[in-house]
Amino acid sequence: MNIAIETNLLKDGINKILTVIDKKASRPILSNCLVNAYDGILELIATDLEVTAKVILRAETSSPGKFCINTKNLSDILRELPDDLLNIEIDKEKNILNLNCKKIKYSLLITNSDDYPHLNFDSSEKPININSNELNKIIQKTSHAISLDETRANLNGIYFQQLDNKLRAVAIDGHRLALLDLVNFQSGNNSSLNDGVIIPKKGIAELKKLCDSYPDKNIFLNLDESYLYAAVNEEYFLSVRLIAREYPKYQTVIPSKTSFNINLEKSSFFNAVKRIRLLSNEKTNGIKVSIQTNQITLSADHPSLGHATEIIPVDYSGTEMEIGFNAKYMLDILNVLEVDEVIFEFNNELSPVVVRSDEEKDFLGIIMPLKI
């Protein structure tokens, strides 16, 4: 079997599937990708059995054939090759792949494709059509609040659910919440999406890569009880195993009403938090926000470095109070709001603080106060 393909095309295809490979794969075959050549097509498939990616490339193929090859090793080689025509020859008897590019030659060991897992990229459900820019926005606005605590598996992803004509995405980690509603969304009454699904963090990262690779393109999503399937341009496919757990009742974290609110210029407050954070405790990132008449004071104490304060004028005449925050969490939520002004809503020093903006009404953030 012979294959001819441009080096940069194959390199791009390998890069799209490379991050799916589990560096600590329990089965050696999973450190390989499956290469399938037929009728001018070159399929590249990688999986860790939870997330699977498939890329279809155009190439010159002499005859159909399949083989497996170490993905990272092939990626490293392609990275060093010049952008030129790459000729690939397969010696099935010796299980050798010969790479020829200009005067550069590699001979690489390959593995029989029969040992590779059988994978599926389709569902019987009606596909959902969503713009890649909209899906990317959802991921960018909410993924910072995904929990990293592996003992709480149901929080290790983003929860998607259709509510009437809205697609709602929620991420929580027990200390903060990020929620985004995509309005005028039609799923075709997909039963799985009506009930809600949790897409794991790794699957979210691969979906973002897909969106980044195809800006402003239609992405077709399929869902069943166990998997999410995504496809774009009939050349980039994903299969993601959903987290089979019940998502927490996140609505209970969102205050039904608040007693106080402060309007702040986002950039000035964001920069002040960055400055004060420099003298916060490295473990807690804790800073104090003292809310007073017509001003707020940000402060931090570090036992071995010193003390920092900054005063920001605001229009406020309510009850004076002091609230502690994790500065990193505050910066994360402000960073995803592309607005000029943010609104903080709260009831007291111990209640959840709502962070929102009239400029992005589809987004809601919650930060739990921190005892300092």
Domain-ending residue, one of 250, 282, 302: 250
Helix (H) or strand (E) holding 200: strand 197-200
Q: Do both 215 and 312 map to the same domain?
A: no
Residues 323-339, mean pLDDT to the nearest whole number: 97
Helix (H) or strand (E) holding 38: strand 32-38
Q: Do both 280 and 241 map to the same domain?
A: no
> Is 219 a member of any domain?
yes
Q: Do both 259 and 245 map to the same domain?
A: no
Q: Do both 87 and 169 map to the same domain?
A: no
Q: Do both 172 and 276 map to the same domain?
A: no
> Is 261 a member of any domain?
yes
Q: Do both 13 and 79 map to the same domain?
A: yes
Q: What is the CA radius of gyration of the chain?
A: 25
Q: Do both 224 and 324 map to the same domain?
A: no
Q: Do both 171 and 204 map to the same domain?
A: yes
Q: Do both 100 and 153 map to the same domain?
A: no
Largest CA distance in the chain: 82
Q: Do both 292 and 316 map to the same domain?
A: yes
> Is 199 a member of any domain?
yes
Domain-ending residue, one of 219, 250, 281: 250
Three state DSSP letters for 88-108? EEEECCCCEEEEEECCEEEEE
Domain-ending residue, one of 250, 282, 299: 250
> Is 123 a member of any domain?
no
Residue 120: the pLDDT is 83
Total number of residues shown for the chain? 372
CATH at 339: 3.10.150.10
Contact 257, 345 (CB under 8 A): no
pLDDT level of residue 160 (50, 70, 90 thresholds): very high
Residues 339-367, mean pLDDT to the nearest whole number: 97
pTM greater than 0.85 (yes/no): yes
Q: Do both 203 and 308 map to the same domain?
A: no
Assess whether pLDDT exceeds 70 at residue 190.
Answer: no
Assess whether pLDDT exceeds 90 at residue 25.
Answer: no
Q: Do both 197 and 274 map to the same domain?
A: no
What is the tally of structural domains in the chain?
3
> Is 347 a member of any domain?
yes
> Is 121 a member of any domain?
no
**Residue 289 is part of which domain span?**
255-367
> Is 240 a member of any domain?
yes
Establish how many alpha carbons lie within 13 A of residue 86's alpha carbon, considering only the half-sphere containing its beta carbon: 23
Mean of pLDDT over the chain: 94
pLDDT level of residue 123 (50, 70, 90 thresholds): low
> Is 372 a member of any domain?
no
Could you read off the pLDDT of 247-291 as tens digits, one per residue?
A: 999 999 999 999 999 999 999 999 999 999 999 999 999 999 999
Assess whether pLDDT exceeds 80 at residue 124.
Answer: no
